[in-house]
Amino acid sequence: MKIRAVTVGDTAEWQRMRATLWDDSLDEHPREIQAFFEQRNSDLETFVCERGNGKLGGFVEVGVRKYAEGCDSDRVGYIEGLYVDQDLRRQGIASQLIQAAEDWARSHEIWEMASDCLIDNHVSLAMHLANGFEEVERIICFRKTLSNG
């Protein structure tokens, strides 16, 4: 399968996959995708995996952050999102997408790559470790709604 940069023609498929990965923010996906194409920013890229016939099977969104846990530099390549369709998993597609993201980072003279996953996502943890990432920290985040009176 071919890995390449996302194009405007991929919008519907990219949105489908984002909705599967991040189903808690469905209303934001069309706006974010539109902004991605309108603002084409050198610190953000998306790569997709072609299935053929206009269909996609996965994507990786990579950006640049000024800080990432465990990293030393102030320009870190960051895997913001990674998704592969269920029927294509365990075929090395995530590794190919990560390789595209790493190549992109190197082309921007970025020498560290970082990512994250939920603390109970053992599949993502295993995939990251298999792709050369090392675990550097675990955190539990909290929130509290404050009453206004």
Query: Both tokens of residue 126?
Result: 């295993």
Check whether domain 3-116 has CATH 3.40.630.30, yes or no? yes
Tell me which residue has tokens 């309108």. Answer: 38
Is the confidence at residue 1, as pLDDT, over 90?
A: no
Q: Which one, of 86, 35, 81, lies nearest residue 61 by Cα?
A: 81
Ramachandran category for residue 26: left, alpha or beta (phi over 0 → left; psi -120 to 50 → alpha): alpha
List residues bridging with 56 in a β-sheet.
Answer: 50
pLDDT digit string (tens) for 90-117? 999 999 999 999 999 999 999 999 999 9
**Amino acid making up residue 45:** E
Range in 61-65, 88-92, 143-147 the model is least confident about? 143-147
